[in-house]
Chains A and B, each alone.
Chain A
Amino acid sequence: MKITLKVWRQKDSKSKGEFKTYEHSHVSPDMSFLEMLDVLNTELIKKKEEPISFDHDCREGICGMCSLYINGHPHGPLQTTTCQLHMRSFSDGETITIEPWRAKAFPVIKDLVVDRSAFDRIQQAGGYVNVNTGGVPDGNAIPIPKMIADEAFDAATCIGCGACVAACKNASAMLFVGAKVSQFALLPQGKVEAKQRVEKMVAQMDAEGFGACTNTYACEAECPKGIKITNIARMNREYLGAMLTSYKVEVGGGE
Protein backbone atom coordinates (compact mmCIF):
# COMPACT_ATOMS: atom_id res chain seq x y z
CA MET A 1 0.00 0.00 0.00
CA LYS A 2 1.06 3.53 -0.68
CA ILE A 3 -0.46 6.36 1.28
CA THR A 4 -0.02 10.08 1.73
CA LEU A 5 0.02 11.41 5.28
CA LYS A 6 -0.79 14.95 6.31
CA VAL A 7 0.53 15.16 9.85
CA TRP A 8 0.31 18.04 12.31
CA ARG A 9 3.86 18.98 13.34
CA GLN A 10 4.39 21.30 16.28
CA LYS A 11 7.78 21.77 17.98
CA ASP A 12 6.44 22.50 21.46
CA SER A 13 3.41 23.96 23.23
CA LYS A 14 4.47 27.51 22.40
CA SER A 15 5.17 27.01 18.68
CA LYS A 16 2.51 27.55 16.05
CA GLY A 17 2.59 24.23 14.26
CA GLU A 18 1.60 23.24 10.72
CA PHE A 19 0.71 20.27 8.54
CA LYS A 20 3.56 18.39 6.86
CA THR A 21 2.99 15.91 4.06
CA TYR A 22 4.74 12.53 3.94
CA GLU A 23 4.64 9.93 1.20
CA HIS A 24 4.61 6.49 2.82
CA SER A 25 5.21 3.51 0.53
CA HIS A 26 6.04 0.73 3.01
CA VAL A 27 2.56 0.08 4.32
CA SER A 28 1.00 -3.35 4.78
CA PRO A 29 -2.78 -3.66 5.19
CA ASP A 30 -2.11 -5.83 8.26
CA MET A 31 -0.16 -3.12 10.08
CA SER A 32 -1.82 -1.29 12.90
CA PHE A 33 -2.04 2.45 12.48
CA LEU A 34 0.66 2.96 15.10
CA GLU A 35 2.98 0.42 13.43
CA MET A 36 2.56 2.36 10.21
CA LEU A 37 3.72 5.49 12.07
CA ASP A 38 6.61 3.50 13.63
CA VAL A 39 7.86 2.55 10.16
CA LEU A 40 7.56 6.15 8.99
CA ASN A 41 9.47 7.33 12.08
CA THR A 42 12.27 4.81 11.42
CA GLU A 43 12.60 6.20 7.91
CA LEU A 44 12.62 9.76 9.28
CA ILE A 45 15.33 8.86 11.80
CA LYS A 46 17.43 7.26 9.04
CA LYS A 47 17.08 10.48 7.07
CA LYS A 48 18.15 12.34 10.25
CA GLU A 49 14.78 14.09 10.48
CA GLU A 50 12.79 14.62 13.66
CA PRO A 51 10.40 11.66 14.14
CA ILE A 52 6.69 12.30 14.71
CA SER A 53 5.72 12.30 18.38
CA PHE A 54 2.50 10.46 19.30
CA ASP A 55 1.12 8.84 22.45
CA HIS A 56 0.93 5.08 22.80
CA ASP A 57 1.45 2.46 25.46
CA CYS A 58 -0.22 -0.95 25.71
CA ARG A 59 -1.25 -1.25 22.05
CA GLU A 60 -3.96 -3.65 23.17
CA GLY A 61 -6.82 -1.17 23.33
CA ILE A 62 -7.06 -1.04 27.11
CA CYS A 63 -4.77 1.70 28.40
CA GLY A 64 -6.30 4.81 26.83
CA MET A 65 -2.93 6.30 25.94
CA CYS A 66 -3.21 6.44 22.14
CA SER A 67 -5.15 9.28 20.60
CA LEU A 68 -4.94 10.88 17.10
CA TYR A 69 -7.73 12.63 15.22
CA ILE A 70 -7.68 10.71 11.93
CA ASN A 71 -9.62 11.98 8.89
CA GLY A 72 -12.04 13.88 11.09
CA HIS A 73 -12.66 11.13 13.66
CA PRO A 74 -11.01 10.51 17.03
CA HIS A 75 -9.23 7.13 16.72
CA GLY A 76 -10.08 7.07 13.01
CA PRO A 77 -13.00 5.70 11.01
CA LEU A 78 -13.75 2.68 13.24
CA GLN A 79 -15.17 2.87 16.75
CA THR A 80 -11.98 1.52 18.32
CA THR A 81 -8.70 2.79 19.71
CA THR A 82 -6.03 3.93 17.24
CA CYS A 83 -3.78 1.02 18.25
CA GLN A 84 -6.53 -1.42 17.23
CA LEU A 85 -7.11 0.34 13.90
CA HIS A 86 -5.44 -1.41 10.97
CA MET A 87 -4.35 -0.07 7.62
CA ARG A 88 -6.87 -2.33 5.87
CA SER A 89 -9.46 0.25 6.95
CA PHE A 90 -7.88 2.61 4.44
CA SER A 91 -7.51 2.31 0.69
CA ASP A 92 -4.36 2.30 -1.42
CA GLY A 93 -3.30 5.80 -2.40
CA GLU A 94 -5.50 7.46 0.21
CA THR A 95 -4.53 10.75 1.85
CA ILE A 96 -4.85 10.48 5.64
CA THR A 97 -4.94 13.60 7.79
CA ILE A 98 -3.72 13.19 11.37
CA GLU A 99 -4.35 15.90 13.95
CA PRO A 100 -3.95 16.04 17.72
CA TRP A 101 -7.01 16.22 20.04
CA ARG A 102 -8.19 19.83 20.01
CA ALA A 103 -9.46 21.31 23.27
CA LYS A 104 -8.45 24.16 25.54
CA ALA A 105 -8.08 21.68 28.41
CA PHE A 106 -5.87 19.39 26.26
CA PRO A 107 -2.98 21.65 25.16
CA VAL A 108 -0.63 20.27 22.51
CA ILE A 109 2.78 19.38 23.97
CA LYS A 110 4.48 18.28 20.74
CA ASP A 111 3.22 17.15 17.33
CA LEU A 112 0.30 14.81 18.07
CA VAL A 113 0.85 14.57 21.83
CA VAL A 114 -1.57 16.47 24.06
CA ASP A 115 -1.56 16.98 27.82
CA ARG A 116 -4.49 15.00 29.22
CA SER A 117 -3.59 15.49 32.89
CA ALA A 118 -6.86 17.41 33.29
CA PHE A 119 -8.54 13.97 33.34
CA ASP A 120 -6.15 12.85 36.10
CA ARG A 121 -7.04 15.88 38.19
CA ILE A 122 -10.77 15.19 37.77
CA GLN A 123 -10.14 11.61 38.97
CA GLN A 124 -8.05 12.86 41.88
CA ALA A 125 -10.90 15.18 42.89
CA GLY A 126 -13.17 12.24 43.72
CA GLY A 127 -12.95 9.35 41.29
CA TYR A 128 -12.08 6.74 43.89
CA VAL A 129 -13.45 4.94 46.93
CA ASN A 130 -11.84 5.46 50.32
CA VAL A 131 -11.25 2.10 51.92
CA ASN A 132 -9.77 1.16 55.24
CA THR A 133 -6.88 -1.24 55.15
CA GLY A 134 -7.59 -4.72 56.45
CA GLY A 135 -8.49 -8.14 55.26
CA VAL A 136 -10.18 -8.73 51.92
CA PRO A 137 -13.96 -8.88 52.48
CA ASP A 138 -15.84 -11.95 51.32
CA GLY A 139 -16.97 -11.62 47.72
CA ASN A 140 -20.61 -12.35 48.52
CA ALA A 141 -20.82 -10.26 51.70
CA ILE A 142 -22.41 -7.36 49.78
CA PRO A 143 -25.13 -8.56 47.40
CA ILE A 144 -25.06 -6.72 44.04
CA PRO A 145 -27.54 -7.63 41.31
CA LYS A 146 -25.87 -8.90 38.15
CA MET A 147 -27.52 -6.19 36.05
CA ILE A 148 -26.15 -3.41 38.27
CA ALA A 149 -22.71 -5.02 38.29
CA ASP A 150 -22.78 -5.16 34.49
CA GLU A 151 -23.86 -1.53 34.20
CA ALA A 152 -21.13 -0.40 36.58
CA PHE A 153 -18.59 -2.48 34.70
CA ASP A 154 -19.69 -0.99 31.37
CA ALA A 155 -19.10 2.48 32.81
CA ALA A 156 -15.75 1.35 34.22
CA THR A 157 -14.54 0.27 30.78
CA CYS A 158 -13.91 3.95 30.03
CA ILE A 159 -10.16 4.16 29.44
CA GLY A 160 -10.02 7.95 29.73
CA CYS A 161 -8.53 8.45 26.25
CA GLY A 162 -10.35 11.73 25.69
CA ALA A 163 -12.03 10.82 22.40
CA CYS A 164 -15.31 12.19 23.80
CA VAL A 165 -13.70 15.61 24.35
CA ALA A 166 -12.06 15.46 20.93
CA ALA A 167 -15.36 14.61 19.20
CA CYS A 168 -17.51 17.12 21.07
CA LYS A 169 -18.12 20.47 19.45
CA ASN A 170 -17.99 21.98 22.96
CA ALA A 171 -14.95 19.95 24.10
CA SER A 172 -17.13 18.67 26.92
CA ALA A 173 -15.76 15.95 29.20
CA MET A 174 -19.18 14.88 30.45
CA LEU A 175 -19.10 11.38 28.95
CA PHE A 176 -15.81 10.71 30.76
CA VAL A 177 -16.97 12.24 34.05
CA GLY A 178 -20.39 10.59 33.67
CA ALA A 179 -18.74 7.19 33.32
CA LYS A 180 -16.39 7.76 36.24
CA VAL A 181 -19.24 8.95 38.46
CA SER A 182 -21.50 6.08 37.38
CA GLN A 183 -19.06 3.23 37.98
CA PHE A 184 -19.13 4.08 41.68
CA ALA A 185 -22.63 5.54 42.05
CA LEU A 186 -24.16 2.23 40.96
CA LEU A 187 -22.35 0.13 43.54
CA PRO A 188 -22.90 0.00 47.33
CA GLN A 189 -19.21 0.64 48.02
CA GLY A 190 -19.37 3.82 45.95
CA LYS A 191 -22.70 5.09 47.28
CA VAL A 192 -21.10 5.99 50.63
CA GLU A 193 -19.23 8.94 49.12
CA ALA A 194 -21.47 9.46 46.07
CA LYS A 195 -22.61 13.01 46.85
CA GLN A 196 -19.26 14.57 47.62
CA ARG A 197 -17.69 12.65 44.73
CA VAL A 198 -20.00 14.02 42.03
CA GLU A 199 -19.83 17.55 43.45
CA LYS A 200 -16.04 17.57 43.48
CA MET A 201 -15.58 15.91 40.11
CA VAL A 202 -18.02 18.26 38.35
CA ALA A 203 -16.38 21.28 40.02
CA GLN A 204 -12.96 20.07 38.84
CA MET A 205 -14.30 19.39 35.34
CA ASP A 206 -15.54 23.00 35.14
CA ALA A 207 -12.29 24.35 36.58
CA GLU A 208 -10.26 22.53 33.92
CA GLY A 209 -12.14 24.48 31.24
CA PHE A 210 -14.13 21.71 29.57
CA GLY A 211 -17.34 22.77 27.83
CA ALA A 212 -20.94 21.96 28.69
CA CYS A 213 -22.77 19.12 26.99
CA THR A 214 -25.39 20.11 24.40
CA ASN A 215 -26.59 16.52 23.94
CA THR A 216 -25.37 16.12 20.37
CA TYR A 217 -24.20 12.60 21.34
CA ALA A 218 -21.16 12.76 19.04
CA CYS A 219 -19.15 11.41 22.01
CA GLU A 220 -21.20 8.22 22.26
CA ALA A 221 -20.85 7.66 18.51
CA GLU A 222 -17.05 8.03 18.64
CA CYS A 223 -16.20 6.42 22.02
CA PRO A 224 -13.90 3.41 21.41
CA LYS A 225 -15.41 1.67 24.43
CA GLY A 226 -19.04 2.42 23.58
CA ILE A 227 -19.73 4.35 26.79
CA LYS A 228 -23.42 5.29 26.80
CA ILE A 229 -24.89 8.75 27.28
CA THR A 230 -27.11 7.27 29.99
CA ASN A 231 -24.01 7.83 32.13
CA ILE A 232 -24.27 11.59 31.49
CA ALA A 233 -27.92 11.51 32.55
CA ARG A 234 -26.94 9.62 35.69
CA MET A 235 -24.26 12.21 36.47
CA ASN A 236 -26.88 14.97 35.99
CA ARG A 237 -29.24 13.22 38.44
CA GLU A 238 -26.48 12.51 40.93
CA TYR A 239 -25.17 16.07 40.77
CA LEU A 240 -28.55 17.75 41.11
CA GLY A 241 -29.52 15.45 43.98
CA ALA A 242 -26.19 16.00 45.71
CA MET A 243 -26.25 19.79 45.39
CA LEU A 244 -29.81 19.99 46.73
CA THR A 245 -29.35 17.65 49.69
CA SER A 246 -25.67 17.32 50.69
CA TYR A 247 -24.51 18.73 54.00
CA LYS A 248 -21.52 18.56 56.25
CA VAL A 249 -21.27 18.06 59.99
CA GLU A 250 -19.00 19.98 62.31
CA VAL A 251 -17.21 17.49 64.49
CA GLY A 252 -17.50 18.60 68.08
CA GLY A 253 -16.95 15.37 69.98
CA GLY A 254 -14.57 15.43 72.93
CA GLU A 255 -14.07 19.18 73.01
Chain B
Amino acid sequence: MVNSINTAQYYTMKWFLDLFSSSLGKKLLMSLTGIFLILFLTVHLAGNLQLLKGDGGKSFNIYAEFMGTNPLIQFVSKGNFALILVHIIWAIMLTIKNRESRGAKGYAITNKKSTWASRNMAFLGFLILIFIVIHIQNFYYKAHFGTLPMQVYDGTEIKDLYTEVAFIFSQWWYVAIYTVCMIGLAFHLWHGFTSAFQTLGLNHMKYNPVISFIGKAYAVIVPALFAYIPVKMFFFS
Protein backbone atom coordinates (compact mmCIF):
# COMPACT_ATOMS: atom_id res chain seq x y z
CA MET B 1 0.00 0.00 0.00
CA VAL B 2 2.65 2.46 1.07
CA ASN B 3 4.67 1.67 -1.99
CA SER B 4 1.94 2.09 -4.56
CA ILE B 5 3.03 5.25 -6.26
CA ASN B 6 2.69 7.48 -9.20
CA THR B 7 6.31 7.94 -10.18
CA ALA B 8 5.42 10.74 -12.55
CA GLN B 9 4.86 13.17 -9.70
CA TYR B 10 8.49 12.82 -8.65
CA TYR B 11 9.83 13.48 -12.11
CA THR B 12 7.53 16.45 -12.67
CA MET B 13 8.73 18.01 -9.41
CA LYS B 14 5.18 17.93 -8.07
CA TRP B 15 6.66 17.62 -4.59
CA PHE B 16 8.36 20.96 -5.09
CA LEU B 17 5.05 22.66 -5.89
CA ASP B 18 3.42 20.83 -2.97
CA LEU B 19 6.11 22.15 -0.65
CA PHE B 20 5.64 25.79 -1.60
CA SER B 21 1.87 25.63 -1.71
CA SER B 22 1.68 24.18 1.80
CA SER B 23 1.26 26.49 4.77
CA LEU B 24 4.73 25.60 6.05
CA GLY B 25 6.31 26.09 2.61
CA LYS B 26 4.75 29.54 2.28
CA LYS B 27 6.07 30.44 5.70
CA LEU B 28 9.48 29.15 4.65
CA LEU B 29 9.48 31.61 1.74
CA MET B 30 8.56 34.46 4.09
CA SER B 31 11.40 33.48 6.38
CA LEU B 32 14.08 33.10 3.69
CA THR B 33 13.16 36.30 1.84
CA GLY B 34 12.93 38.10 5.19
CA ILE B 35 16.45 37.04 6.15
CA PHE B 36 17.78 38.18 2.77
CA LEU B 37 16.08 41.55 3.20
CA ILE B 38 17.68 41.88 6.65
CA LEU B 39 21.08 41.37 5.01
CA PHE B 40 20.15 43.93 2.36
CA LEU B 41 19.26 46.48 5.04
CA THR B 42 22.70 46.07 6.60
CA VAL B 43 24.51 46.73 3.32
CA HIS B 44 22.17 49.61 2.49
CA LEU B 45 22.79 51.22 5.88
CA ALA B 46 26.56 50.88 5.57
CA GLY B 47 26.38 52.76 2.26
CA ASN B 48 24.02 55.44 3.55
CA LEU B 49 26.14 56.26 6.57
CA GLN B 50 28.65 57.79 4.13
CA LEU B 51 26.17 60.67 3.81
CA LEU B 52 27.30 61.79 7.26
CA LYS B 53 31.01 61.86 6.42
CA GLY B 54 31.07 65.62 5.97
CA ASP B 55 33.09 65.58 2.74
CA GLY B 56 30.43 67.35 0.69
CA GLY B 57 29.08 64.00 -0.49
CA LYS B 58 32.19 62.87 -2.36
CA SER B 59 32.45 59.35 -0.91
CA PHE B 60 28.67 58.87 -1.04
CA ASN B 61 28.51 59.91 -4.70
CA ILE B 62 31.39 57.64 -5.68
CA TYR B 63 29.72 54.78 -3.76
CA ALA B 64 26.33 55.48 -5.43
CA GLU B 65 28.00 55.54 -8.87
CA PHE B 66 29.62 52.17 -8.13
CA MET B 67 26.34 50.65 -6.93
CA GLY B 68 24.50 52.03 -9.96
CA THR B 69 26.94 50.73 -12.56
CA ASN B 70 28.52 47.53 -11.24
CA PRO B 71 26.92 44.60 -13.12
CA LEU B 72 27.01 42.23 -10.12
CA ILE B 73 25.40 44.82 -7.85
CA GLN B 74 22.80 45.49 -10.54
CA PHE B 75 22.01 41.78 -10.71
CA VAL B 76 21.67 41.50 -6.93
CA SER B 77 19.58 44.67 -6.94
CA LYS B 78 17.08 43.18 -9.41
CA GLY B 79 17.01 40.02 -7.33
CA ASN B 80 16.36 42.13 -4.27
CA PHE B 81 13.31 43.71 -5.92
CA ALA B 82 12.07 40.24 -6.86
CA LEU B 83 12.48 38.99 -3.30
CA ILE B 84 10.64 42.01 -1.88
CA LEU B 85 7.83 41.14 -4.30
CA VAL B 86 7.84 37.49 -3.19
CA HIS B 87 7.79 38.60 0.45
CA ILE B 88 4.76 40.81 -0.25
CA ILE B 89 2.81 38.37 -2.44
CA TRP B 90 3.24 35.43 -0.08
CA ALA B 91 2.39 37.67 2.88
CA ILE B 92 -0.87 38.61 1.16
CA MET B 93 -1.64 34.95 0.35
CA LEU B 94 -0.97 33.87 3.94
CA THR B 95 -2.94 36.78 5.41
CA ILE B 96 -5.97 35.99 3.26
CA LYS B 97 -5.77 32.29 4.22
CA ASN B 98 -5.37 33.17 7.90
CA ARG B 99 -8.32 35.57 7.87
CA GLU B 100 -10.46 32.85 6.26
CA SER B 101 -9.32 30.29 8.83
CA ARG B 102 -10.43 32.50 11.69
CA GLY B 103 -13.98 32.16 10.35
CA ALA B 104 -16.78 34.58 9.68
CA LYS B 105 -17.74 35.04 13.33
CA GLY B 106 -15.24 36.63 15.68
CA TYR B 107 -15.01 36.69 19.45
CA ALA B 108 -16.95 39.26 21.47
CA ILE B 109 -14.08 39.53 23.97
CA THR B 110 -10.40 38.78 23.35
CA ASN B 111 -7.51 39.16 25.71
CA LYS B 112 -4.23 39.09 23.87
CA LYS B 113 -1.33 37.12 25.22
CA SER B 114 1.07 38.08 22.45
CA THR B 115 3.14 41.11 21.47
CA TRP B 116 1.57 43.94 19.50
CA ALA B 117 4.22 43.69 16.77
CA SER B 118 3.61 39.97 16.24
CA ARG B 119 -0.11 40.58 15.66
CA ASN B 120 0.38 43.52 13.30
CA MET B 121 3.06 42.36 10.88
CA ALA B 122 0.79 42.89 7.86
CA PHE B 123 0.00 46.47 8.87
CA LEU B 124 3.68 47.19 9.60
CA GLY B 125 4.65 45.60 6.31
CA PHE B 126 2.14 47.79 4.49
CA LEU B 127 3.67 50.87 6.15
CA ILE B 128 7.10 49.75 4.93
CA LEU B 129 5.70 49.18 1.42
CA ILE B 130 4.39 52.76 1.30
CA PHE B 131 7.81 53.91 2.43
CA ILE B 132 9.55 51.86 -0.28
CA VAL B 133 7.37 53.45 -2.97
CA ILE B 134 8.15 56.99 -1.74
CA HIS B 135 11.80 56.11 -1.26
CA ILE B 136 12.23 54.66 -4.75
CA GLN B 137 10.51 57.66 -6.30
CA ASN B 138 12.79 59.99 -4.29
CA PHE B 139 16.12 58.40 -5.05
CA TYR B 140 16.32 55.13 -6.97
CA TYR B 141 14.14 56.30 -9.85
CA LYS B 142 15.88 59.68 -10.09
CA ALA B 143 19.34 58.13 -9.96
CA HIS B 144 18.56 55.59 -12.66
CA PHE B 145 16.07 57.27 -14.97
CA GLY B 146 15.83 60.91 -13.95
CA THR B 147 18.21 63.79 -14.41
CA LEU B 148 20.63 64.72 -11.70
CA PRO B 149 23.30 67.43 -11.58
CA MET B 150 26.81 66.15 -12.30
CA GLN B 151 29.93 66.41 -10.16
CA VAL B 152 33.53 65.95 -11.22
CA TYR B 153 35.80 63.96 -8.91
CA ASP B 154 39.42 63.22 -9.93
CA GLY B 155 38.65 63.89 -13.57
CA THR B 156 35.52 61.71 -13.87
CA GLU B 157 32.06 63.17 -14.09
CA ILE B 158 29.44 61.33 -11.98
CA LYS B 159 25.86 61.94 -10.85
CA ASP B 160 25.55 64.13 -7.76
CA LEU B 161 23.01 62.10 -5.76
CA TYR B 162 24.20 63.71 -2.52
CA THR B 163 22.75 67.12 -3.45
CA GLU B 164 19.40 65.45 -4.23
CA VAL B 165 19.45 63.64 -0.85
CA ALA B 166 20.29 66.89 0.94
CA PHE B 167 17.43 68.63 -0.92
CA ILE B 168 14.86 65.95 0.00
CA PHE B 169 16.00 65.94 3.61
CA SER B 170 15.74 69.71 3.88
CA GLN B 171 11.96 69.28 3.73
CA TRP B 172 10.52 68.53 7.16
CA TRP B 173 7.61 66.34 5.97
CA TYR B 174 9.99 63.93 4.21
CA VAL B 175 12.07 63.72 7.38
CA ALA B 176 8.86 63.04 9.35
CA ILE B 177 7.68 60.33 6.92
CA TYR B 178 11.10 58.66 6.96
CA THR B 179 11.26 58.67 10.76
CA VAL B 180 7.74 57.27 11.24
CA CYS B 181 8.36 54.54 8.67
CA MET B 182 11.62 53.59 10.39
CA ILE B 183 9.69 53.14 13.64
CA GLY B 184 7.36 50.82 11.70
CA LEU B 185 10.40 48.95 10.36
CA ALA B 186 11.75 48.61 13.89
CA PHE B 187 8.56 46.91 15.09
CA HIS B 188 8.47 44.72 11.96
CA LEU B 189 12.04 43.57 12.65
CA TRP B 190 11.39 43.23 16.39
CA HIS B 191 9.10 40.31 15.60
CA GLY B 192 10.37 39.32 12.16
CA PHE B 193 14.02 38.69 12.95
CA THR B 194 13.50 35.99 15.59
CA SER B 195 10.34 34.75 13.90
CA ALA B 196 12.31 33.89 10.74
CA PHE B 197 14.50 31.51 12.73
CA GLN B 198 11.55 29.81 14.42
CA THR B 199 9.93 29.22 11.01
CA LEU B 200 13.14 27.63 9.73
CA GLY B 201 12.96 25.32 12.73
CA LEU B 202 16.06 26.87 14.29
CA ASN B 203 14.87 26.87 17.87
CA HIS B 204 17.48 25.65 20.32
CA MET B 205 17.96 26.40 23.99
CA LYS B 206 21.63 27.28 23.48
CA TYR B 207 21.10 29.71 20.61
CA ASN B 208 17.66 31.22 21.33
CA PRO B 209 19.01 33.90 23.71
CA VAL B 210 21.68 34.89 21.16
CA ILE B 211 19.21 35.08 18.26
CA SER B 212 16.77 37.00 20.43
CA PHE B 213 19.43 39.47 21.61
CA ILE B 214 20.84 40.09 18.13
CA GLY B 215 17.31 40.37 16.70
CA LYS B 216 16.18 42.94 19.23
CA ALA B 217 19.44 44.92 19.01
CA TYR B 218 19.21 44.89 15.20
CA ALA B 219 15.55 45.99 15.31
CA VAL B 220 16.47 49.02 17.39
CA ILE B 221 19.90 50.03 16.08
CA VAL B 222 19.45 49.70 12.30
CA PRO B 223 16.18 51.67 11.94
CA ALA B 224 17.51 54.23 14.46
CA LEU B 225 20.61 54.82 12.32
CA PHE B 226 18.51 54.96 9.15
CA ALA B 227 16.29 57.61 10.77
CA TYR B 228 19.30 59.48 12.18
CA ILE B 229 20.57 60.30 8.66
CA PRO B 230 17.60 62.49 7.52
CA VAL B 231 17.22 64.01 11.01
CA LYS B 232 20.89 65.01 11.14
CA MET B 233 20.91 66.31 7.57
CA PHE B 234 17.78 68.37 8.30
CA PHE B 235 19.12 70.03 11.41
CA PHE B 236 22.81 70.37 10.61
CA SER B 237 23.05 71.45 7.00
Contact = CB atoms under 8 A, between A and B. Distances in A.
Contact of A169 (B15, B25, B97, B98): B98
A169 B109 contact: no
Interface stretch (A31-39, A46-54, A69-77, A85-93): A69-77
A171 B22 CA distance: 16
Interface string A205-249: 110011111111110011000000110111111111001101111
Given A73-B111, A196-B2, A248-B2, A212 B94 contact: yes
Nearest to B7: A250
A236 B5 contact: no
Contacts of A106: 103
Nearest to B5: A248
Contacts of B5: 248-250
Interface string A80-121: 000000000000000001010011111000000000000000
A21 interface: no
A45 interface: no
Chain A binding surface SS class? mixed
A6 to B, nearest CB: 8
Nearest to A211: B101
A240 B28 contact: yes
Contact of A212 (B97, B103, B106, B114): B97
B114 A217 contact: yes
A233 B103 contact: no
Interface string A34-69: 000000000000000000000000000000000001
Interface in B95-137: 97-98, 100-115, 118-119, 121
Nearest to B121: A214
A147 B25 CA distance: 30
B19 A72 contact: no
- Which of B104, B110, B202 neighbours the largest number of chain A CB atoms within 10 Å of its CB? B110
B23 A216 contact: no
A89 B191 CA distance: 33
Contact of A104 (B102, B118, B201): B102
A99 B103 contact: no
Contacts of B216: none
B112 to A, nearest CB: 7
Contacts of B114: 169, 216-218, 221
Contacts of B2: 196, 248
A218 B94 contact: no
- Which of A196, A215, A235, A236 neighbours the largest number of chain B CB atoms within 10 Å of its CB? A215
B98 A214 contact: yes
B24 A236 contact: yes
Contacts of B202: 233
Contacts of A196: 2
B111 to A, nearest CB: 4
Nearest to A198: B24
- Which of A6, A216, A230 neighbours the largest number of chain B CB atoms within 10 Å of its CB? A216
Contact of B198 (A169, A218, A232, A246): A232
A102 B113 contact: no
Contact of B203 (A6, A169, A230, A251): A230
A240 B24 contact: yes
- Which of A172, A203, A214, A232 neighbours the largest number of chain B CB atoms within 10 Å of its CB? A214
Given A211-B98, A214-B195, A102 B24 contact: no
B75 interface: no
B59 interface: no
A229 B203 contact: yes
Contacts of A19: 108
A233 B204 CA distance: 9
Interface of A: 6, 17, 19, 69, 71-73, 97, 99, 102-106, 167, 169-172, 196, 202-203, 205-206, 209-218, 221-222, 229-230, 232-240, 243-244, 246-251
Pairs A-B, 9 closest by C-beta atoms: A237-B201, A211-B101, A233-B203, A170-B98, A72-B111, A216-B114, A221-B113, A236-B201, A211-B98
16 contacts: A102-B102, A103-B102, A171-B102, A203-B18, A206-B22, A211-B97, A211-B98, A216-B119, A217-B118, A218-B112, A218-B113, A235-B24, A236-B198, A237-B200, A247-B10, A249-B5
